[in-house]
Structure 1
């Protein structure tokens, strides 16, 4: 996620990611549909500026068997405390707190119906 984090406040969406089996094809789709200019900075991640999409994001190669998905990340103060609330409220942790080198930590969870959502802490 790198320098893509916005200046979101705690509890606000600050980032989104689009996981795609073919990132270049998906890049072309969003550029064509919305007119976004999507940068290809490092080959792994195609960066979408908040100036283009409203909030910062990226398209990321998704090699797994599960279907690709779009995830929004909400900024929180404490990842584990938030994951505890998720499970108490009927959600499930998909990915526990994971380090983002130099940027903080993130985690993924599902709500009671299976929608994927992300949280992050740090920058």
Structure 2
């Protein structure tokens, strides 16, 4: 994001997050002391301000190879982040960008599916059937395996957004009271992008923060 300090103020008040230095100029966001997200400054001001979904993997280079073989692209090659882990950025065949994280001393989320933490990632695709084929071959056990807790869905872009919107992932954060959270977003300088609607996994509203990054509020 362009201004990490402004991001800390916005999300700290919205979700009750606290922050500590992570690596470089990035900061960890914590909920009751548990890691729930990270805020990082943009290296290139021409790039959009976004939330990025990272999929955990035990072997980022191997998964990067499978992504290429399945028709995706590697945007950023697997790169060590000190002893914290290995990260990479990839794009699916339709161009939706996502991250890979091979945990080291930082395994990933310390809390999720509770108010103020990650709860769902929705992929808005041009062709959901293509997305199903691509991601099922990469993350089948996590997405479709027996006993798996769903945290990832696929839908057509036009179901919620204008048809010209490019394919993308939308990060959802859980909230106790959707109406109160929407009011807080607007009070803090954000805006409502898509008013509340009912999805199979809860009530969703799409918003942007005060720097233009889109995310969703999810009340279950």
Same fold by TM-score, threshold 0.5 exceeded? yes
1:58 aligns with 2:38: yes
How much has 1:23 moved relative to structure 2?
A: 0.9
- The structure 2 residue matched to 1:103, chosen from 84, 87, 100, is 84
User: Aligned Cα RMSD in Å?
Assistant: 2.4
Supply the distance in 1 between the matched residues of 2:43 and 2:102 (Cα, whole angstroms): 26
Structure 1 pair 122/47, CA: closer, same or farther in 2 (3 Å)? closer
- The structure 2 residue matched to 1:45, chosen from 23, 26, 29, is 26
Structure 1 pair 25/43, CA: closer, same or farther in 2 (3 Å)? farther
1:50 touches 1:57 (CA, 8 Å); kept in 2? Answer: no
1:97 touches 1:105 (CA, 8 Å); kept in 2? Answer: yes
Q: Which runs of 5+ in 1 are unaligned?
A: 1-19
Supply the distance in 1 between the matched residues of 2:10 and 2:42 (Cα, whole angstroms): 17
- The structure 1 residue matched to 2:14, chosen from 10, 13, 33, is 33
TM norm structure 2: 0.41
Structure 1 pair 42/90, CA: closer, same or farther in 2 (3 Å)? closer
1:119 aligns with 2:100: yes
Q: Which runs of 5+ in 2 are unaligned?
A: 105-220
Secondary structure of the corresponding residue to residue 87 of structure 1: helix
1:79 touches 1:119 (CA, 8 Å); kept in 2? Answer: yes
Structure index of larger Rg: 2
Secondary structure of the corresponding residue to residue 70 of structure 1: coil
Greater relative CO, 1 or 2 (CA 8 Å, sep 6+):
1
TM norm structure 1: 0.68
Aligned residues: 103
